[in-house]
Amino acid sequence: MHTHDAVDRGHDLVLEHFRWIDGAADTWTMLRSADALAGIVAGLAALVEDARPDVVVGIESRGFVLAPAVALTLGVGFAPVRKDGALFPGPLVERTTDRDYRGNRRTLSARRDLFAAGQRVVLVDDWIETGSQALAVADLVADAGADLVGVAVVVDEAGPGARAALPMLRSLVRSSELDAGRRS
């Protein structure tokens, strides 16, 4: 499948399978169908394949589902980013995020030894709002000697500040495409 076709198919599958539940975004239901999961993963991989990553990172929890699948699709490895002091043996790099859309700060950690100097890294996640976690990941990756060269998300709700501060940010859909059903 061509890159553009994979992205279009991923976009359509998100719109078909995404749901709001009691005003909250339900990105888990999109992954329940094997066809939707495969199409969304292929679309995310197509968004970042031209960045030529050496490793894909994913933030706990949905990033732990999507990022390894994208890494397999691209034929590269996966490195996890844990939240808030989760057990993670080995030498760590840590960053505390700015406030997220709920007003919370999170401490993110990655194992330093899972990155090599000069490696090209892409971040894969389900949703980007304020960009606070993605910006913290960029700092973590840089601290470990690698370079964050792209971000691929299922849903993009990032503002201009986050967009300007991050490397290539691409998504399958914009949040405005999902707004029907969102609680004010």
Boundaries of every domain in the chain: 48-176
pTM: 0.92
Q: Which residue has the higher pLDDT, 71 or 29?
A: 71
Tell me the percentage of the chain whose pLDDT exceeds 90.
Answer: 67
What pLDDT does 3 receive? 77
Q: Domain 48-176, CATH 2.70.98.60 — does that match?
A: no
Alpha helices in the chain (DSSP H): 3-17, 34-48, 62-74, 132-143, 160-165
What band does 103 get if pLDDT is binned at 50, 70 and 90?
A: confident
Tell me the percentage of the chain whose pLDDT exceeds 70.
Answer: 96
Q: Which residues contact 27 (CB under 8 A, 6 or more apart)?
A: 18, 62, 126, 127, 154, 155
**104-156 pLDDT tens trace:** 788 899 999 999 999 999 999 999 988 889 999 999 999 999 999 999 999 99
Give me the sign of the Cα torsion angle 155, 157, 162, 167: positive
